[in-house]
Amino acid sequence: MPDPAQIPSQAIAYQLIGAGLLAAVGFLFLLPRPRHRQLLVGTFLGVSALGLLVAFLVTRFGSATADWVSTILFWFFAAGAVGFGTVLVVQRNPARGAIAFAFVVLSTCGLFLILAAPFLMATTIIVYAGAIIVTFLFVLMLSHVSGPADENDRSREPLLGGLAGFGFAGLVLFALHQSLPPASANTTVATPGLPLAPLTVVERSALLDAATHLAEAESANREQLLSTEFSQSTRERLESVVGGMTAPRGTVSLQQRLTLAQAEPRTATEIQQAAALKKQIQTTFDTVETALIDANPPDEARAKQALRELREQVVILAGTGGLPARNVSTLGLAIYSEHLLGVEMAGMLLLVATIGAVAIAHRRGDAT
C-alpha cells in the first residue's frame, strides 16, 4: 500500500477526471434515446469509470484488511447502491426504475447498518420502499403508456447533463481528498496503553449496569438513597470506567494524544464526555447528600432529579460507545431533548404538506 503522504494530488485529479469523463461518455450511450443507444459500449465505459473510482478509493483511503466482514459488506452494499442507481438513471421503463430505486434504498440501508444506525435503516426502508415507491408505482399504473413515449425514450442534454453531474461529483471527491486527513493515521499510530476504541465492551456493560442501578433509585426511599451500599457502589462502578478513561494508561506523550485526537475525533469526544461525567458524578452525589441530609425537610425529589440527569449522561456515554446497542433509545433521547424544536418543525411541515397535497390534487369540477 503506498504511503498516502506520497500520493500526489495530480494523480488523484487524473483519476477523478478520467472517471468523470468515462462516466459522462458512458451515460451518453446508456441514457435512453430514440436510436443509436449502445448499451454494451456504455456499460463498458461505466464499468471502467467505476474501476477508476475504486482505484481512487483504494489509493486514497486504503483498503482495510483487518476487518474482513465489514469490508466485504461495505463493498457489496456500495456496489449495489451505485449499480442500481445507474440502472435507475438509464432505465427506460419508470416502473423498473422504481424497483431499481428500491434496491438502491436497500443497499444504502445496508451501509447504514455498517454505520451503526439501525433505526434509520428501518425507517428508511419503511418510508421509501414501503410508502413512496408503492405510491409512485400506483401513479405509474394510473398514467401507464404503452410503446415509446417522449418522456421515457428521450433525454434532455445527455452529454451536458452527464458532464455537469459527474463533474460535480468529481469535484466533491477532490475536495474530500484535500480535506480529509491521511487514512492510515488510525492504523499506524497504535499506542500501547491507550484504548483504540475508547470504550471496551466490558466498560460499556459496566456503565450500563451503573445506569440500571441509578434507575433503581427512582423507586428508592431516603434511607436507601443514603445507604453506603448504593452511593458507594454506584460511584465506584462509574469511576472505575470513567476514571480509567480520563487517566492515560501508561505513558503517552502529549504529541501522541494530539495525533490520536485528530485522527479519531470519536475518541476525543468520548474522553471529553468521560471527563465531564466524572465531574458530574462528584457534584451529583454532593447534591444528593445536601438534599437529603442538610435540607430540612429532606428534598427527595431534587436528589432523584440529579440522579436522573446523571443516568442520562451515563446512558449516552454507554450508547455512543456502542451505537447499535441502545440506538433507538439514545436517538429518542437526543431527538426529544436536543432537537425538540426541529422535531416540532418537521411535524408542522408534514401537516402543511398533507394539507397542501390534498388541496393540489383535489379535482375542482371538471378540470380536465
Partner 1 sequence: MISLGHFLTVGAVLFGLGLVGFLTRRNFITMFLCAEMMLQGVVLNLVAFSRYHGNLSGQVLGLFIITVAACEAGLALALFLTLYRRGRSLDSGAWQSIREIGVQPTIDVEPLMKTVPSPDYPRLPVAGRLPVAAEETARV
Partner 2 sequence: MSDPTNLALLALGLPLLATILAAVMGTCSTLAKWAHLPVVTAFAGSAILALLVLSKVMQATGSEVAFLSTAQTWFHAGNLQVDFQITVDPLSALMLMTVTFVGTWIAVFSVGYMHDDPGYARYFSLMALFVFSMCLLILASDLLLLVAGWEGVGLCSYLLIGYYYAKPSAAAAARKAFLVTRLGDVGMILGIFLFWQAGGYHTNFDKLFAHITANPPDSVTLTTACLLLFCGAIGKSAQFPLYVWLPDAMEGPTPVSALIHAATMVTAGVYLLARAMPLFVLSPDAQIVVALIGGFTAILSAFIALAQHDLKRVLAYSTVSQLGYMFMALGAGGPVSANLVVTAAIFHVFTHAFFKALLFLSSGSVMHAMGNVIDMRKFGGLRTLMPVTHITFLCGAAALAGFPLLSGFWSKDLIIDMVYQASEHGGSHATLYGLVFLTALVTAFLTAFYTFRAYFLTFWGELRTPPEAGHHAQESPLGLLAPLIVLAFGAVLAGITVEPFAHGFSNLLVKAPSVVLANSVLHVEAEATHPHFDFALAGISTLLALSGMALAWWHYRTGIETVPAALKSVYRLSENKLYVDEIFNGMFVKPAEWLAVLSRLCDGLLDGVARVVSFIPRLIGALLKPLQNGLVQFYALGMVLGLAVFLTVVVVRTSQ
Q: What angle do CA 72, 77, 81 make, to 5 degrees?
A: 150
Site residues for partner 1, window 116-175 (CB under 8 A)?
116-117, 119-120, 123-124, 127-128, 131-132, 135-136, 139-140, 142-143, 146-158, 160-162, 164-166, 168-170, 172-173
- Tell me which of 165, 182, 195, 243 binds partner 2, using CB under 8 A: 165
The entry of partner 2, partner 1, none that residue 174 binds, CB within 5 to 8 Å by partner kind:
partner 2
159 binds partner 2 (CB under 8 A): no
- Tell me which of 4, 158, 161, 248 binds partner 2, using CB under 8 A: 161
Q: What span, in angstroms and rounded, lies between the C-alpha atoms of 283 and 249?
A: 25
* Of 27, 307, 314, 37, nearest in space to 167 by CA: 27
* Of 85, 78, 118, nearest in space to 99 by CA: 85
Q: What span, in angstroms and rounded, lies between the C-alpha atoms of 9 and 182?
A: 13
The interface mask with partner 2, positions 176-195, x = CB under 8 A, is --x-----------------
What's the chain's Rg over C-alpha atoms?
28
- Tell me which of 131, 159, 175, 345 binds partner 2, using CB under 8 A: 175
- Do residues 56 and 183 lie in contact, with contact meaning Cβ atoms separated by under 8 Å? no
Q: Minimum CB separation from partner 2 for residue 154, in Å?
A: 12
Non-local (6+) Cβ contacts of 213 within 8 A are 230, 233, 234, 237
Site residues for partner 2, window 95-154 (CB under 8 A)?
none
For partner 1 (CB under 8 A), the number of binding residues is: 114
51 binds partner 1 (CB under 8 A): no
Site residues for partner 1, window 332-361 (CB under 8 A)?
334-335, 338-339, 342, 346, 349-350, 352-354, 356-358, 360-361
The entry of partner 2, partner 1, none that residue 149 binds, CB within 5 to 8 Å by partner kind:
partner 1
86 binds partner 1 (CB under 8 A): yes
94: amino acid identity, one letter: P
Q: What span, in angstroms and rounded, lies between the C-alpha atoms of 222 and 230?
A: 11
- Do residues 302 and 224 lie in contact, with contact meaning Cβ atoms separated by under 8 Å? no
Give, as one character, the DSSP assignment of residue 184.
T
Asked if omega into 265 is within 30° of 0 (cis), the reply is: no
Q: What span, in angstroms and rounded, lies between the C-alpha atoms of 47 and 312?
A: 49
- Tell me which of 174, 204, 231, 319 binds partner 2, using CB under 8 A: 174
Q: Which three cell numbers stand for residue 122?
A: 428501518
The entry of partner 1, partner 2, none that residue 280 binds, CB within 5 to 8 Å by partner kind:
none
The interface mask with partner 1, positions 286-325, x = CB under 8 A, is ----------------------------------xx-x--
